[in-house]
Structure 1
Amino acid sequence: MANVLSARQRKAIGMLWRFVMPYHWRVLGALLALLFTAAITLFMGQGIKLLVDQGLATQSAAMLNRSIGLFGLLVLCLAVGIFARFYLVSWIGERFVADIRMRVFNHLLELDPGFYETNRSAEIQSRLTADTTLLQTVLGSSLSMALRNALLLIGAGILLVITNLKLSIIVLAALPLVIVPILFFGRRVRRLSRLSQDRVADVGSYTSEVLGQIKTVQAYNHQAQDRRLFSAVVEQAFGTARQRIAQRAWLMTLVIVLVLGAVGVMLWVGGMDVISGRISAGELAAFVFYSLLVGSAFATLSEVIGELQQAAGAAERIAELLQARSQISAPVQACLQLPARVSGRISLEAVRFAYPTRLDRLAIDGLSLSVEPGETLALVGPSGAGKSTLFDLLLRFFDPQQGRILLDGLPLTRLNPHQLRRCFALVAQSPALFFGSVADNIRYGKPMASATEVEAAAQAAHAHDFIMELPEGYQTHLGDAGLGLSGGQRQRLAIARALLVDAPILLLDEATSALDAQSERLIQQALPRLMRGRTTLVIAHRLATVQNADRIAVIEQGKLIAIGNHQQLLASCPLYARLAALQFADGQP
């Protein structure tokens, strides 16, 4: 296998092997069962020899009974060994896939958002499901078959030589002829296996993307184009799989022809020796049995090697995920500790930042800004000005390329991200809801919150009334992403979730944009009480919602253009005055 697998694949498989090592006793038991069954299978050749030479050739009923009894005992032992081997190997395979899925998922949860900008989530999901399932199949079946047949090949080869050296030379001469196509086709199968898995991942990615946006697909009557595009993706996957299957079929065909051809020649030579009396019929029968073991072992190995090549590709793809490192992590040395509850003072000092996929365009360009504890600061400006990017930086989803951000005087880069994020409560413009009950979604940031606390947060967010109208109230299960709720209802649940966390800093990204007029008015009435004692940053395109903020920061193209209250900015900032004039001219309050 060392020549069949690349160095990177061997490293990946070695890493995955460490997942099996905690169960070394079961692995040892499976190996012993494997050795036991292989030994019994090999010993059956001697049983066949005794049956022919001492049971049939002597025409003795007693000898026949003894030979049949020995053969029956071997069959019983073989059955016990097969049961133990199958159970242990299958258990190891299932336990392995469960452990690795948990490990990969836990690792993915800690990777920074930048990783998901350059990697499709649907493809990652394919690696977590399809690739791990393939590894489970190989570890729970194919690898056992490979080891078993390798043992049979070695053992039967030795017994062939012991039984009859002349006939053994004929069979063993065919081995180099078999090894050459295995190595030749094996390299092709390995490459095509990786490509095939990538194409299957593309199918899953496209399916997830289209079905996840099914309303948009149907609203624009895009079904015909999606059928055409999906057909092209599927056909590409099929084409790659067809090439892989053809290579494996050629490999198996050549192995069978060469090995069984050698067995045929051996039978002719051996038959002539039996006729001439040079060997006994039992010796030839045993030799035929061992020859068939060698042939079947080689044929099975040639097939299993293809599956192992696929497993190597799957292991490599999973290893890539496990080897990915988050760009955002707690400092190894000099990690600072935040107090139990921060005051909420935020400072940005000459911050410059560009997203990893758009390094040539600064999202934040030399921005400096200070927010005092308990202050409400509104961020306004055109779309794409960098307002939401500031929230990403505050939550340390990304680190700025230049400058620094401080919380209560402590640089964010010297804080543990988990400790940092417990200081914030976020209400995004497009609220994220998860499959589960209404109560589960509200207590998402505080899993141990009581039902009373959940209800109080919902009432403060003016969500209680519509929740009680749902079929099972707070225990009503939501569809994916809150399917079945209006935009305003989803937004109010997200606000209730943020309120329940009771963090010292509140981040509102267009938090009322999806609310109807009545709900927005109720939320606006409640906001002063909800923000009391918290540092609050509010992103708003509708200036009427932030007129009462302590200060308003105007941002354009990642730069701070002006800062002040509503009246000051109307007089001193042309951009703000223009935005206000446009909105108020449209009749907005």
Structure 2
Amino acid sequence: MSEPTAKPPEPIQSVAEPLNSSQGSAHQAANVTDNITNNVTDNVTDNITLNVTAKDKTNAFDRQRSVLPWIAGFLKPYKMKVVASIIFLIIGSLAWLSLGQGVRLMVDEGFVRDNAQRLNEIILFVLGITALSGAAVFCRFYLMTWLGERVSADIRLTVYNQLLKLSPAFYAKVRTGEVISRFTADSTLLQTVVGSSLSMALRSSVTVLGGLVMMGITSVKMTLLVLLAVPLVLGPVLFFGSKVRVLARESQDRVADLGAYVDETLHEIHTVQAYGHEDKDRSLFNSRIEDVMTAASGRIRYRAMLISSVMFLSISAIVLVTWVGAQDVMVGKMTGGELSAFMFYAVMVAGAVATISEVIGDIQRASGAAERLIELAETQVDIPVAANPVTLPINVRGELVIEGLSFAYPEHDTLVLKQLNITIAAGERVALVGPSGAGKSTLFQLLQRFYVPSNGRIRLDGIDIADLTPQHLRTQFALVPQDSVIFATSVLENVRYGRVDASEQEVIDACIAARAHEFISEFSEGYQTYLGERGVRLSGGQKQRIAIARAILADRQILLLDEATSALDAVSEQKVKQALDVLMVGKTTLIIAHRLSTVINADRIFVFDKGEIIACGRHHELMQSNDLYREFASLQLLTEEANASFT
């Protein structure tokens, strides 16, 4: 966390020469004015960042909340540290304010009276005050920065815990990239507010109030003149600031377009290079760069005009007020020390105002960030949980009964499943076949309660799954999806997703059963091999066998196999099928299949079409009785000889 850029001037510099103190103060005020201008324009520019993704929000995200009460809830567990930091903040601010009186004494009782002993005493007093202030700043800075890091961490934990509860329906409506942006960038903004901005705002508020009081005590006339100059400075800030705000928003929109284009081309770099699209992408990227520069040029021009006009008016106002004070010194209405002290307080107040303007910008930016994080943290989980959930018996048999089940995805009226009625006995092996989009994968999602049925219900061992907690229900299923999910970690940890407390030997045994141990052993680091993002170091068949090993390790009573051997070559498929045959013994198994070799040995086959079950039976029965299944089977046969064997 950085300290405010506008700091009180060094006391000795302010009073090096009594008659020139106004010039030194004016020079310092110029620096403060530049800081004010930069802070104002930076905040105007930064405020538009939050608007870039706002246009992509869903209708569910439309609540407005105040950032401070929400942050206060996270600060509450650390209230003693908050109180201590405020105490040190007040001590430090009062110490800085007292330096103005040190300046006055140095001039009037040291320089003017040529009293070296008194000057030494005052110098020691100033050094003591400075040491006290420095110690207070250290304690305040440490405590507030620690609080900022701690609160940011707690917010991330809270949001992440909520994200883990949200169903796939939520992520179907909101872009994952936007969620990640909220989770990382927005929480960092809040860390800045808590760790620095709030502290700076409180300290600067004390400084402004105390400085104005001390200025009024020193010279009421000059204090009023300073206050009269404020509207002159605010004029160009309001006029040019509005121009900068509009142009900055346009500039950030162009930058966002640029970032999106880079993300898309690099994410799909294989396709870009495979089709020789590099030159075209360079051209398109260059045009977007020029759009960014065009938008930025106008913003830069108005910002330069803003800075120059504010600097000119501010410095002119300070010079005029200093001239008035110098006239009073020359006629004896005030002393040189009082003028030096007044200018010291004036510059201190100006610096504090600059800091407050910076903090206001930070809080404005953080307000949007906090609203988005609050929306995530308080998003209602759309899978209702029973008020008094029940638990399954220790030995789950795996009987599934589906009664009158219908389902349409949220925000869609078309039914994906229509009045399904299925009873699957414990330990039975059933296959689901049919064209893509017939509802097979949707049924898997409903069985695990990732969605709530529109009508009907599902029973597991006679218990309605709506009466179970989703977490308890899902521990009864082992899933092998068609597109194997590999995480960016080691082989060992990838398989352990099936059972996090499994020993390394149990993982190895599962991999042996899944026919994955052989290729894993060929890796230089064996089971500790890092597999890369999305398992880039593995072939499709190797990914599939890792996923199967995960399901074997989980050893759950119900297996959901979504064409679990689809990515394997003939030899690997035969090996994995042998492992699956052992795994499926005594377990209820549902298989989504596109290969006949997967379903021939099923106890029953359900034929899906447009969300309905149009036939049920064994393979040879359906070949005789159902045209859709016969067509499906014929298209899957590899040879005419195989076709003859089935008929």
Q: TM-score surpassing 0.5?
A: yes
Q: Deviations over 1:22-78 (max 9, x none)?
A: 222222222112111111111111000000000011011111111111111122112
Task: Select 1:345's aligned residue among 399, 404, 413.
Answer: 399
In the alignment, which residue of structure 1 is the partner of 2:66?
A: 11
Asked if residue 378 in structure 1 is aligned to residue 431 in structure 2, the reply is yes
1:506 counterpart SS class: strand
Asked if residue 140 in structure 1 is aligned to residue 160 in structure 2, the reply is no
User: In the aligned structure 2, how far is the partner of 1:317 from the partner of 1:458?
Assistant: 43
In the alignment, which residue of structure 2 is the partner of 1:420?
A: 473
Which stretch of the first structure deviates more once superposed, 254-263 or 467-476?
A: 254-263
Q: Shift of residue 375 of structure 1?
A: 0.4
User: In the aligned structure 1, how far is the partner of 2:614 from the partner of 2:554?
Assistant: 33
2:590 counterpart SS class: strand
Q: Which amino acid aligns with 1:45?
A: G
Asked if the contact 2:63–2:375 (Cα under 8 Å) also holds between the matched residues in 1, the reply is no
Change (3 A) 1:226 1:30: farther
Identity of aligned residues (%): 49
Task: Select 1:562's aligned residue among 609, 615, 624.
Answer: 615
In the alignment, which residue of structure 2 is the partner of 1:166?
A: 221
User: In the aligned structure 2, how far is the partner of 1:189 from the partner of 1:306?
Assistant: 14
2:637 counterpart SS class: helix
Q: Deviations over 1:342-377 (max 9, x none)?
A: 2111122222222225x0332212222221110001
Q: Shift of residue 422 of structure 1?
A: 0.2
Q: Shift of residue 330 of structure 1?
A: 2.1
In the alignment, which residue of structure 1 is the partner of 2:36?
A: none
Asked if residue 438 in structure 1 is aligned to residue 491 in structure 2, the reply is yes
In the alignment, which residue of structure 2 is the partner of 1:401?
A: 454
User: In the aligned structure 2, how far is the partner of 1:346 from the partner of 1:156?
Assistant: 76
Q: Shift of residue 569 of structure 1?
A: 0.7
Asked if the contact 2:433–2:592 (Cα under 8 Å) also holds between the matched residues in 1, the reply is yes
User: In the aligned structure 2, how far is the partner of 1:123 from the partner of 1:302?
Assistant: 29
In the alignment, which residue of structure 2 is the partner of 1:527?
A: 580
Aligned ranges 1:61-140 → 2 under 5 Å:
61-140=116-195
User: In the aligned structure 1, how far is the partner of 2:177 from the partner of 2:633?
Assistant: 42
Asked if residue 336 in structure 1 is aligned to residue 390 in structure 2, the reply is yes
Which stretch of the first structure deviates more once superposed, 348-357 or 84-93?
A: 348-357
Q: Deviations over 1:451-496 (max 9, x none)?
A: 2211111111111111111112212221111111111111011001
Count of residue correspondences: 584
Change (3 A) 1:254 1:424: farther
Q: Which amino acid aligns with 2:379?
A: A
In the alignment, which residue of structure 1 is the partner of 2:207?
A: 152
Change (3 A) 1:134 1:503: same
Asked if residue 280 in structure 1 is aligned to residue 347 in structure 2, the reply is no
Q: Shift of residue 219 of structure 1?
A: 3.4
Q: Gaps (5+ residues) in structure 2? A: 1-43, 48-61, 643-647
User: In the aligned structure 2, how far is the partner of 1:437 from the partner of 1:420?
Assistant: 28
Aligned ranges 1:471-482 → 2 under 5 Å:
471-482=524-535
Change (3 A) 1:509 1:228: farther
1:308 counterpart SS class: helix
Asked if the contact 2:89–2:203 (Cα under 8 Å) also holds between the matched residues in 1, the reply is yes
In the alignment, which residue of structure 1 is the partner of 2:51?
A: none
In the alignment, which residue of structure 1 is the partner of 2:597?
A: 544
User: In the aligned structure 1, how far is the partner of 2:178 from the partner of 2:293?
Assistant: 18
Asked if the contact 2:594–2:636 (Cα under 8 Å) also holds between the matched residues in 1, the reply is no
Q: Shift of residue 197 of structure 1?
A: 8.4
1:369 counterpart SS class: strand
Asked if the contact 1:457–1:499 (Cα under 8 Å) also holds between the matched residues in 2, the reply is yes
Change (3 A) 1:211 1:101: farther
Q: Shift of residue 528 of structure 1?
A: 2.5
In the alignment, which residue of structure 2 is the partner of 1:503?
A: 556
Asked if residue 297 in structure 1 is aligned to residue 352 in structure 2, the reply is yes
Q: Gaps (5+ residues) in structure 1? A: none
User: In the aligned structure 1, how far is the partner of 2:270 from the partner of 2:212?
Assistant: 64
Asked if the contact 1:193–1:310 (Cα under 8 Å) also holds between the matched residues in 2, the reply is no
Q: Shift of residue 514 of structure 1?
A: 0.4
User: In the aligned structure 2, how far is the partner of 1:410 from the partner of 1:336?
Assistant: 9
Which stretch of the first structure deviates more once superposed, 65-74 or 503-512?
A: 65-74
Change (3 A) 1:89 1:236: farther
1:379 counterpart SS class: strand
Change (3 A) 1:17 1:221: farther
Q: Which amino acid aligns with 1:27?
A: V
2:497 counterpart SS class: helix
Q: Which amino acid aligns with 1:391?
A: F
Asked if the contact 1:426–1:498 (Cα under 8 Å) also holds between the matched residues in 2, the reply is yes
1:338 counterpart SS class: coil
RCO higher in 1 or 2 (8 Å CA, sep ≥ 6)? 2
Q: Which amino acid aligns with 2:527?
A: Y
Q: Shift of residue 141 of structure 1?
A: 2.5
Which stretch of the first structure deviates more once superposed, 428-437 or 119-128?
A: 119-128
Q: Shift of residue 241 of structure 1?
A: 8.2
Q: TM-score, normalised by structure 2?
A: 0.83
RMSD: 3.2
1:366 counterpart SS class: strand
Asked if residue 218 in structure 1 is aligned to residue 273 in structure 2, the reply is yes
In the alignment, which residue of structure 1 is the partner of 2:410?
A: 356
In the alignment, which residue of structure 2 is the partner of 1:316?
A: 371
Asked if residue 41 in structure 1 is aligned to residue 69 in structure 2, the reply is no
Change (3 A) 1:248 1:361: farther
